[in-house]
Amino acid sequence: KQEVTQIPAALSVPEGENLVLNCSFTDSAIYNLQWFRQDPGKGLTSLLLIQSSQREQTSGRLNASLDKSSGRSTLYIAASQPGDSATYLCAVSNQAGTALIFGKGTTLSVSS
């Protein structure tokens, strides 16, 4: 059974720092991996989608990498801003058209 773990559970950094969020999954036979942002009491905003054949994806200050063989992904946030404060969720899909399996998330707080 696929399990997704995110470390750390919470992170506090001053504005401007670069940071890395970690995600690991137990079954390397994934179809894709997604990173989401969730603000308190809100839904999910998709940040990056990495297909199983890809190594990384970039969007603005965000860069996500995927090492499928080791069951790991990282989300790199450059030059963090207070507006980046949110919970970041990692999720994997084992097959096309199937539900996502989520980690518990990393709650990020960026202070000004």
Q: Which is nearer to other proteins, 18 or 59 (CB)?
A: 59
Q: Which is closer to other proteins, CB of 85 or CB of 93?
A: 93
Contact 62, 102 (CB under 8 A): no
Kindly calculate the radius of gyration of the chain based on its CA atoms and give it in whole angstroms: 13
Distance CA 24, CA 98 (A): 19
The residue among 44 and 62 lying less far from other proteins, judged by its C-beta, is 44
Q: Which residues neighbour 84 within 8 Å (Cβ) at sequence distance 6 or greater? A: 77, 108, 110
**Min. distance of Cβ 47 from other proteins in angstroms?**
10
Binding interface with other proteins (CB under 8 A)? 4, 32, 34, 36, 41-44, 46, 49, 51, 89, 91, 93, 96-105
